A and B are shown apart, each in its own frame.
Chain A
């Protein structure tokens, strides 16, 4: 299988590009030390947890994605907390599992868990501004096109619901369209939509369940932002609703997703046999992972 068919490589390139753009053009307060600490810890945690769970090969791709996402999202002035976040994110994949599938998106879990336990960690939703929005959008959409919609239904369901809720609120309040448009031109929204909620390893297995999950997360995010008036609505919503995924998988069974050329233990703690998928858009054969 050609290496480029793995959507994770595109994701890694895209996230690294966004990080470089954020640090140089937008002044993200992420120093080289934080970046190295995050990536280093994520890779170490991947190797250690993989080894502990009997993996035969070290695959850095998923850990790199989690690490890069944490660099983009997590803000703190404490390096030990950075390391802890990266460790918690990667370790969650190996520990918090139901029927061989991890429950939380690692970045989402690492970030929210750290915000919960420490008041020195935060996420800066406004850090992207609206300047490079369209370039950002193109990069995200490019990823979808390049990889023929690997489970992008959940992203579209979330985005469509999110836009509908915002437009509905705008219509109800009688606000001008500039307000929802300003909210939608957010790098944080795109990052969440195309890199977090669409993580094919943690979304429900069946398409109807994925669509329902996307809508639910959008509703939860709206509730957090406009009813509870708290920040980071999307992150909290995904965190709180992720435990529903095993339930949705039981109610609406579907085919489990595997990264192309997935190797035992590389991303799933060693409980899965090697499963080759010819096309990332296609699903692995049923039963291959059970």
Chain B
């Protein structure tokens, strides 16, 4: 049986939370989680000092016999350092940190205090015998440092002396190695990295009764704070999507060998985005990637995990954090535990991301979230004098919102205006001769 490797494929599921939840700054109405993206991998990295716990998951949806994962790791890992985690933990982390849409309802402009308040706030905007196998792998320079069955996975920790041998060994053992992988494997071998190879043990999977692949978790101690992405770019069919959630004690995590850029946030958008927040987020991300020439790492969320505002999902419990590997959280409460979450989103390919991602923890504890804001205009009667001013302000605000949306997503402004129910821009409207400037009349002859 040939196993494709590394496999990152999946289906697109759009899950929007329509249930509004009350929060201090606006009503949280929707989130855009990682399920929106095809070929997405999620990695949670808990890191403090040199201690690292990595939880890896991808959206593989095919036949489990086709699944295999080869990950370079900086050290040999023992059986006790590997665990199978729960998909729900990563899903919760994803939901908690997703870009979110919030909404505000404009109050009655005729209630002067409220109107003034808003204005002040600026809102009016193949199997062989074991012996033969051993000899074969020795001749290829491949050493199986350890072999474990953890949950539904068979895991091998390999070290190798030559890339050709390792590639041959992997092929002979049923891994479909892309052309060009040999060079990359060779580089990791010379960097004295080991290879963590996981595949599904069907018997164990049937016994355990899981119908999907649970994330794998590895704990190790190494000064290297990095994520190997080069293997995934060999012969990859187009760019891939990677979400990295780091949980650290000190502060935000950023890349040291690529620019780390914040996703545009706190932007007012037209209210129709409420019904298509998923496509909005995808288009916006694609546009930002295009503008940055697909060469940056985006920060989508950076927050102290003790709280959130508005909450796209409840913060993780102390138990959940511990299960993700946050060993310094004790007891039942996360208060004062100092867990800082950074959510990084990378779209990468071999041309734009030639190196593995290297990270550093910074002292930055400023909170940041991808947050998009809708303002619902007051629809009641506003017969007072402030009503006219309010309507003019709302028109101007809606125009700005449409422009924001077009700018963020690269969508056509005309289309956005139409969708937002806006009239054509003022310059296209009929103007009286008195309103025309002298230069408008200059070439009227």
Contacts and interface: CB of A to CB of B under 8 A. Distances in A.
Interface of A: 26-27, 29, 75-77, 118-122, 124-131, 172-176, 178-179, 182-183, 228-231
B379 interface: no
B190 A229 contact: no
Nearest to B260: A126
Interface residues of B, number: 33
Nearest to B74: A229
B424 interface: no
A131 B295 CA distance: 9
B190 A174 contact: yes
Contact of A76 (B224, B255, B360, B363): B363
A27 B297 CA distance: 13
A126 B366 contact: no
Contacts of A229: 222-225
B183 interface: yes
Given A119-B250, A174-B186, A231-B360, A77 B259 contact: no
Interface centre among B222, B225, B254 (most CB of A within 10 A): B254
Contacts of B250: 119
Interface in B360-374: 360, 362-366
A129 B353 CA distance: 12
Given A122-B362, A182-B354, 17 more contacts: A27-B261, A27-B262, A29-B364, A75-B363, A120-B251, A122-B363, A125-B256, A126-B260, A127-B259, A129-B295, A131-B295, A174-B183, A174-B186, A176-B183, A229-B224, A231-B256, A231-B360
Interface in B338-378: 354-355, 358, 360, 362-366
Contacts of A119: 250, 363
Contact of B190 (A76, A172, A230): A172
B256 A182 contact: no
A126 B190 contact: no
B365 A182 contact: no
**Residue of B186, B222, B258, B363 most packed against chain A (CB within 10 A):** B363
B254 to A, nearest CB: 6
Contact of B187 (A27, A118, A126, A174): A174
A129 B293 CA distance: 11
Interface string B395-415: 000000000000000000000
Contacts of B293: 131
Interface string B284-298: 000000000101100
A118 B224 CA distance: 22
Contacts of B364: 29, 75, 77, 122
B186 to A, nearest CB: 5
A176 B256 contact: no
A179 B355 contact: yes
Contacts of B222: 229
Nearest to B190: A173
Q: Is the interface of A mostly helix, strand, loop or mixed?
A: loop
A75 B190 contact: no
A27 B264 CA distance: 11
Given A26-B259, A176-B183, A231-B256, A77 B223 contact: no
A182 B363 contact: no
A173 B259 contact: no
Nearest to B360: A231
B362 A129 contact: no
A130 B365 CA distance: 26
Nearest to B180: A176
Contacts of B360: 122, 125, 231
Contacts of B355: 179, 182-183
B191 interface: yes
Contact of A126 (B255, B262, B363, B365): B255
Interface string B255-276: 1111111100000000000000
A26 B163 CA distance: 39
A124 B355 CA distance: 17
A28 B410 CA distance: 24
9 shortest interchain CB distances as A-B pairs: A129-B259, A120-B363, A178-B354, A229-B223, A173-B187, A122-B362, A229-B224, A231-B360, A174-B186
Given A75-B362, A174-B186, A179-B355, A126 B259 contact: yes
A127 B308 CA distance: 27
A231 B190 CA distance: 21
B187 A175 contact: yes
Nearest to A128: B259
Contacts of A118: 363
Contacts of B295: 129-131
A178 B183 CA distance: 13
A213 B255 CA distance: 29
A76 B252 CA distance: 12
A137 B222 CA distance: 35
A178 B186 CA distance: 16
B223 A126 contact: no
A179 B233 CA distance: 14
Contacts of B255: 126
A119 B49 CA distance: 12
B223 A230 contact: yes
A197 to B, nearest CB: 19
B364 to A, nearest CB: 6
A182 B187 contact: no
11 contacts: A27-B262, A119-B250, A122-B364, A125-B360, A126-B257, A131-B293, A173-B186, A174-B190, A178-B354, A228-B223, A231-B256
Contacts of A173: 186-187, 190-191
Contacts of B256: 124-126, 231
Given A118-B363, A173-B186, A126 B354 contact: no
A229 B255 CA distance: 14
Contacts of B354: 176, 178-179, 182
Contacts of A175: 183, 187
A131 B294 CA distance: 11
B257 A183 contact: yes
Nearest to A27: B261
A130 to B, nearest CB: 7
B258 A126 contact: yes
A126 B186 contact: no
A76 B187 CA distance: 36
Contacts of A125: 256-257, 360
A26 to B, nearest CB: 7
Interface in B163-197: 163, 183, 186-187, 190-191
Contacts of B363: 75-77, 118-122
